[in-house]
Chain A
Amino acid sequence: MSRGPLNMWLRFVVGLLVILIVVFPVYWLFSMAFKTPNEIFAFPPVWFPGSFYIENFKTMWRTDDLVPVWNSIVIASISTVISLGLGTICAYSMARFRTGGDNFAIWILSQRMLPPIAIVFPLFLAYAFLGWVDTWHGMIIVYTAFNLPFVIWMMRGYIQDVPVELEESSLVDGCTRWQSLIRVVLPMSRTGLFATGVFTFIFTWNEFAFAFVLTRDGVLTFPVHVSHYFGALSTYWGKVGVISLIATLPVFLTVAFLQRYIVRGMSMGALKG
């Protein structure tokens, strides 16, 4: 539905306004990294940091404060890749073969109905028994199990959007099911794969309940570490600002640079033939 330059510039202005509104709270948060405590608690509020106050950055660089960000990146990345892989093939099976029917699909979704805080205690007991508390593999497996229902259901929807005719024609051409999955379905649903992957990463990244109960200090993740900045008698707003800024970068950069996977127009070529 491309229309003309006027339409594009109109959308640009509206888009700019929308982004400004969306981003202002983010700006406010990040600005804490550069504000002195007096500026953070100034009345009336200070809109821009007065100077380039970088004490917080220096402090955090010196201490171990950035390690949890790295831990979260590793855990979230590995868990996302595994979830996407296993979840997508499962979704394919459900979309094309209706494997397990409705009951199976509902069961998968029911896993996502459980509030994490409700199941974290028995999970802790199981993990304590296995000796998996505060371990890398423990956290990765928990998050993979936690994310699979989401991946399966989203990818099932995106795969259903891929016309069956395309696959059938490739099968007739001599491909196996497996090959048609890899060569036809996945590329056609890569926009969905990308979007699902981004949010699988985000859900893992932000998860607090499991991380709080199932780790101590060995595999400390970012959300739990940040919660330590909010003490009973202290709040390190400066550090909160810095770590939030740094922690946002991985996803931001990924979405910014890998957008070609969701840009319109590149996936429709095959249909027109």
Chain B
Amino acid sequence: MLTKVGIALAAATALALGSVQTAAAQSADEIAVNAAKQFSGSEITIFLEAGLSELGFQESATRKWTELTGIEVNLVGAPTNEMYSKIVIEHKGNTGAFDVVDVQPQWMPDLVEMGALEPIDSYIDKYGYAEELEDIAPFYSGAWNTYKGKTYAFGDDGDVLVLYFRKDLFDDANNQALFKEQYGYDLNAPADWGQFDDVCKFYTDNFAPQLYGCTMVRSRGLTLFFWMQQFKLAGGRFFDIESMRSTINSDAGVSSLQALVDRTEYMPPGNATWGFVEKLSAWLAGEVAMTVSWPAIGRWAEGVGTDHEAMTWIPQTTIANKVGYSVVGKHPEIAPGFALAVSSSSKKKESAYLFNQWANSKNISLERTMVPVSIRDPFRISHYESAELAAQWPNAPAFLKTLREGGELGMQNLSLRSTAAYQEIVSNAIQAAIGGTDPQKALDQAASDMDDLTDRVGVDLQRDAYKAWIAGRGYPPES
């Protein structure tokens, strides 16, 4: 009897060891697929951004996942600004309707504290994903993936806001001479916001209305990311860390907001109310010399993927091969980004997790950033080093280099308890200033609203969250 048990034990150990060895040889996506096959015939629901993202997911991921594993995938989309409320509502109703949720990392503190996200450390160990997680560039993991020591999501989208400029205009000898004459230093991609404004003014003063210096997005939900970067670079701080009173109305705040308002004068007429698509069309039509934006702009300027039928809304580019890349102020803002998480009320958590691991893995995520209609941007070291991505257009290597450096030196966008509410307050102040309110007044109002909010959230709780965010590199390192 003992021998029988002994043999059984030995056999079991051998099998286990054997399977571990085979597992080690497989890549994370293969492991995920194999493990997910047991759920074949079932269905998972993914909640994500509506529109282009949905289509991107379908073309680059979910169709293939269904082919490989037999699991049906249901996509539920919502407009970007409404995603947060939809996730919270479904969670509060405990419906279990969503299995995978594509979250913006800035919502993590709230969602985790609410209990809406499932911790996935145990799954990571079980399915051996730790190694490929290391490959995610550090700035897109860390604060994006973990909260209070536990892992909840996989950073999935490298949203870094870098500078795109018209190389041909900057290299032009006449422009260079003229600029040197008018401003006293060499015309180059601006290193800081002061230079940015000089360059912007230069082009507009000399070449309007054929050419304007710059265009920036001015819509309500997006402008604040650009302002926040300048604010932080100018030494601005959101709170005094002891009292947790808002210091957004400091000199740094007022001066950077004033600069943002003044800058509008040198943009194409009407830019004050422009959203992303209006600005994109001006950029692609070659009407402006610079813009700061998301990586998709880089691809679309070169016409990569714009002939896809879902991209027919993008105007034709006239500036292919004329674009250079850089960063204003050395530390760009990283905002908002997306990460794949598992809903805590899901009834298919393991299946959901396996999809996330597969989609986020080295091999699959590379494919996804290359599918034209996907608006996922490179976020892994392996992406930055990928020969395929570098071959997409002549200047792509420079593009990847800038994205990588921007990410390495970049700053996280504000992420606290009740982030969405703070963002609304800041957006109000910015829009008011653009509409003519005195920046000091607008920011004073914002500071007062922020203080009310902080009191309601709980000063100590918020201080903890704020410290954690600073540690995840919320502010420029030098300061």
Residues on A close to B: CB < 8 A?
A: 36-38, 40-41, 55-56, 59, 121, 124-125, 128-129, 133-134, 212-213, 216-217, 227-239
Contacts and interface: CB of A to CB of B under 8 A. Distances in A.
Interface stretch (B77-85, B229-237, B240-248): B77-85
A234 B51 contact: yes
B222 interface: yes
A216 B76 contact: yes
Nearest to B276: A233
A239 B313 CA distance: 9
Contacts of A230: 51, 79
A128 B94 contact: yes
B76 A234 contact: no
B93 A232 contact: no
Given A233-B52, A236-B313, A217 B95 contact: no
A66 B268 CA distance: 37
Contacts of B81: 232
Given A231-B51, A231-B53, 8 more contacts: A55-B312, A121-B92, A133-B95, A228-B79, A232-B81, A232-B276, A234-B277, A236-B51
B375 interface: yes
Interface hub of B89, B92, B97, B375 (most chain A Cβ within 10 A)? B89
B57 to A, nearest CB: 13
Given A125-B93, A213-B89, A217-B75, A232 B315 contact: no
Contacts of A212: 78, 82, 86
Q: Which 3 pairs show the lowest CB-CB distances between chains A and B? A: A41-B281, A128-B93, A228-B50
Interface string B309-323: 110111110000000
Interface string B273-310: 00111100110010000000010100000000000011
A235 B313 contact: yes
Contacts of A121: 89, 92
Interface string B19-62: 00000000000000000000000000100011111100000000
A59 B313 CA distance: 12
Contacts of A55: 309, 312
B176 to A, nearest CB: 28
Contacts of B375: 233
Nearest to A127: B93
17 contacts: A38-B281, A38-B315, A41-B285, A55-B309, A56-B312, A128-B95, A133-B93, A217-B74, A227-B50, A228-B51, A231-B49, A232-B81, A232-B276, A233-B294, A234-B313, A235-B275, A236-B313
Contacts of B312: 37, 55-56, 59, 238
A102 B315 CA distance: 59
B397 interface: no
A134 B78 CA distance: 14
B221 interface: yes
A52 to B, nearest CB: 15
Interface hub of A38, A128, A234, A238 (most chain B Cβ within 10 A)? A234
B52 A234 contact: yes
A56 B53 CA distance: 19
Contacts of A234: 51-52, 276-277, 313
Contact of A37 (B92, B93, B315): B315
